[in-house]
Amino acid sequence: MKDKIAVITGAGQGIGAAIARRLAREGAKLVLVDINEDCLKDIATELECDLLAVAADISKKDQVFAMIEQAKDHFGTVDILVNNAGIIRDGFLAKISEENWDKVLEVNLKGPFLCCQAVFETMKAQNSGKIVNIVSRAWLGNIGQSNYSASKGGLVSLTRTLALELARFQINVNAVAPGLIETPMTRSMPEEARARLLRMQPTGKMGTVDDIAAAVAFLSSGDATFITGQVIHVDGGKSCGLLSL
Ligand code: NAP
């Protein structure tokens, strides 16, 4: 991955920041993207690799295309795209407002679609590219997360379809599905919900952001060149079925 140019969305904190640290260690040059300028500044200051930090909302087409143009002006190309930024607005069916349905679908599904569109011509021209979409084990279904689960299920379908469309250009498109990972997102959940999720966890503990970063590093590397359209669940076994105690 030495000197590869990697765009990481939602890189300011949590899983995205861990992916940035890991790819920096592997020798990549980074384009860090986040809507939250404060945490974006913090991670850009912390990392000592060659990087560009861009504040952008990935659900807005003009901002996404401008961000990729900035990345190309600065580094010349884009080799790796990690679609990591995502949000939750949880609730049972009757409680999810239209606004919270639209917002989650806009950020979690339309955002990655726009980012893929924005990097496509560049990756096609160089006849290589790696796209890794961060989905969630919740794409298989999760009570209280119909908007989030639908967005991540849609992102799995987008991953598989783009894998077929882009394979002829040697562009790999894969997904990583984290289980319960300790991040600001999960820390914002009500304690009762976190405890319930932990009880259903085969390992009995949450995963770490580094567990996800390791899977992303593999899928972004030359070792994964013949792997495309796949979803790697990094969830301590939770996607294997119900845990009966
Ligand atoms: P996080 O701690 O909330 O970090 C996500 C970052 O993305 C935040 O800095 C956030 O800014 C930023 N962001 C939100 N909306 C954005 C937008 N429209 N444009 C650009 N940046 C935006 O989340 P995380 O837990 O690290 O999760 C990262 C990814 O993993 C997400 O796709 C999530 O769905 C997925 N995931 C997480 C878990 C888990 O257990 N943590 C499990 C499964 C899947 P703000 O802080 O301003 O919102």
pLDDT in tens, 121-133: 999 999 999 999 9
Residues with CB under 6 A from ligand 1: 9-10, 12-16, 34-36, 39, 57-59, 84-87, 107, 111, 134, 136, 178, 180-181, 183-186
What is the separation of C-alpha 156 from the centre of its chain, rounded to a whole number of angstroms? 12
- In ligand 1, which atom is closest to the CA atom of 14? 26
- In ligand 1, which atom is closest to the CA atom of 39? 9
Inter-residue long-range contacts of 141-146, CB under 8 Å, 24+ positions, other chains counted: 143/92, 144/90, 144/91, 144/92, 144/193, 145/88, 145/90, 146/93, 146/96
CB neighbourhood size of 30 (10 A): 28
**Is residue 242 pLDDT above 90, yes or no?**
no
Inter-residue long-range contacts of 160-164, CB under 8 Å, 24+ positions, other chains counted: 160/229, 162/116, 162/131, 163/228, 163/229, 163/230, 164/229
* pLDDT tens, residue by residue, 224-234: 999 999 999 99
**Is residue 245 pLDDT above 60, yes or no?**
no
* pLDDT tens, residue by residue, 6-25: 999 999 999 999 999 999 99
Q: Which residues are catalytic?
A: 148
- 8 Å CB contact between 197 and 235: no
pLDDT, position 212:
98
pLDDT, position 244:
67
* pLDDT tens, residue by residue, 55-71: 999 999 999 999 999 99
Nearest CA to ligand 1 atom 31: 86
- In ligand 1, which atom is closest to the CA atom of 181? 40
CATH 3.20.20.120 correct for 5-234: no
CA of 220 to the centre of ligand 1 (A): 20
pLDDT, position 184:
86
CA of 158 to the centre of ligand 1 (A): 19
Q: Which pair of structure tokens corresponds to residue 158?
A: 């987008």
* pLDDT tens, residue by residue, 74-96: 999 999 999 999 999 999 999 99
pLDDT, position 158:
99
**Is residue 108 pLDDT above 60, yes or no?**
yes
CA of 125 to the centre of ligand 1 (A): 30
* pLDDT tens, residue by residue, 202-224: 999 999 999 999 999 999 999 99
CA of 113 to the centre of ligand 1 (A): 16
pTM above 0.95?
Answer: yes
